[in-house]
Amino acid sequence: MIHEADRMKRLPLYLFTIMDELKAKARAKGVDVIDLGMGSPDQPTAPHIIEELCKQAKILGNQRYSRTDGTIEKDLRKSIAKWYYDRFEVKLDPETEVLPLIGSKEGIAHLALTFLNNDDIALVPNPAYPVHFNGAIMAGGILYSIPLNAENGYKPDLWNLPDDVLRMAKLLFLSYPHNPTTATVDLGFFEDVVKWAKGKDIIVGHDLAYSDITFEGFKAPSFLQVKGAKEIGIEFHTLSKSYNMAGWRIAFAVGNSQILRSLAKTKSYIDFGIFRAIQAAACKALSGPQDGVAKTVEEYRKRRDILIDGLNKIGWKIPKPKATFYVWARIPLKYRALTSMEFATLLVEEVGVAVAPGTGFGEYGEGFVRFALVEDGKRLKEACARIKKVLERES
């Protein structure tokens, strides 16, 4: 008999796998599925980044294992530090306060593995990007969910947590602009978090994956812009979204050097770093022309408007998000008796539109679905027309 470890059995059902099966079934029946389920960017990586990858891949030395003290590795850490300073005026020591990752998902999971004992709590706002809670479960720690909802502005109430929970808490995950709810915060919120965390021995991990995907002039702050933040936490960033490099698997963590040293230690037992040609291409992405980022964001803005205006017109009222390439939508009144999984199933089975069920991001995501704006405007209009049929159907 083959038995997974108990901690693996504690993982919640991965609803995205079920959605994948539903999409496959619909496609097998000949349905042209409009896939707004996964947050996998569909726009292209900029040509100068791809050219650098191709050039660097041909160099023999780059085909060997990556080494922390290699030239490309050092250049990448410097490029990240410079990018952070240019963006947020946060000063980082490239040697001790920057750690490249094979995607931020990898780094977040390994942060939990690095710091959680069996009797340590990870405080995780819920709903959340799944690795924020699944990482803690896989590490064998205790997960404590903090509900996010429209009433609390999708911000966790850290100030009323029970004392025994606080005593056992070792990690807090945050992420703004927020996936899936699209909520944003200002620097004042991070200032309050830093004040709250001081003297508590709780490590704060802030996931800033969507810092660049913002609209109408909104600028997402970095947690590290707060004085004292570097003493208690680290921030994750990724090239997946800003530079349309999701498949390349490159991201980084920055901030507290002690936390990063421990995270690097875990990684040194598990991986051999990032393909050096990808690291060189990432340097080009971070330090080269940034007009591709603006173009990407403008395309998401157009898509956001097409989808939300289209849904509003058919009676599904949703506010426009200030950031991320998602739309977080309360299930329309007519279908509110259904769970988010049932409603997502209905959309894919009946009209071939795939969305993510809110509970894929935790139990407090119930009552909502998430649209990812990863198909073009024409397809989004078509999605609205198909959804209209579901909303106007006689029950």
Ligand X SMILES: Cc1ncc(COP(=O)(O)O)c(C=O)c1O
Give the interface with ligand X as residue ranges (CB under 6 A).
39, 103-105, 129, 175, 179, 207, 209, 238, 240, 246, 251
Min dist CB 163 to ligand X, Å, is: 30
C-beta of 242: minimal distance to ligand X in Å? Answer: 10
Shortest reach from residue 395's CB to ligand X, in Å? 35
Minimum CB separation of residue 271 from ligand X in Å reads: 13
Exposed / middle / buried, residue 278 (Cβ in 10 Å: 0-12, 13-18, 19+): buried
Pick 100 or 103: Cβ nearer ligand X: 103
* Percent helix / strand / coil, the chain, rounded to 5: 50, 15, 35
CB of 111 to ligand X, least distance (A): 12
Residue 169 or 253: the one with the smaller Cβ distance to ligand X is: 253
Q: What is the DSSP string of 302-341?
A: HHHHHHHHHHHHTT---PPPSBSSEEEEEPPGGGTTS-HH
- Distance from C-alpha of 33 to C-alpha of 353, rounded to nearest angstrom: 6
Q: How far is the CB of 129 from ligand X (least distance, A)?
A: 4
- Shorter beta-carbon distance to ligand X: residue 108 or 387: 108
CA 32 to chain centre: 27
Nearest approach, Cβ of residue 47 and ligand X (Å): 21
What are the residues whose beta carbons fall under 8 Å from the beta carbon of 269, sequence distance 6 or more? Answer: none
Measured in degrees and rounded to the nearest 5, phi and psi for residue 3 equal -120, 125
State in angstroms the smallest separation of the CB of 296 from ligand X: 15
For ligand X, the closer CB: 100 or 310: 100
Find out whether 328 and 320 touch, Cβ atoms under 8 Å: no
- Distance (Å, rounded) from C-alpha 370 to C-alpha 355? 6
Single out the residue of 242, 182, 230, 243 nearest to residue 204, CA to CA. Answer: 230
Minimum distance of ligand X from residue 207's CB (angstroms): 5
Residue number, 103 or 362, with CB nearest to ligand X: 103
User: Exposure string (b/e) for 110-120, b if CB count within 10 Å is 16 or more?
Assistant: bbbbbbbeeeb
List CB contacts of 364: < 8 A, sequence separation 6 or more.
126, 127, 145, 147, 148, 149
Instruction: Please say which residue, 303 or 310, places its beta carbon nearer to ligand X.
Output: 303
Compare residues 101 and 387 and give the one whose CB is closer to ligand X. 101
In terms of CB distance, is 209 or 278 closer to ligand X?
A: 209
Helix (H) or strand (E) holding 174: strand 169-174
Q: Which is nearer to ligand X, 104 or 134 (CB)?
A: 104
Phi-psi region of 16 (alpha: psi -120 to 50; beta: other; left: phi over 0): alpha
Nearer to ligand X, 211 or 387 (CB): 211
How far is Cα 387 from Cα 306, in angstroms, rounded to an integer?
Answer: 14
- Pick from 324, 361, 372, 355: which is nearest to 147 by CA? 361
Which H or E run includes 80? helix 71-88
Least distance in Å: CB of 175 to ligand X?
Answer: 5
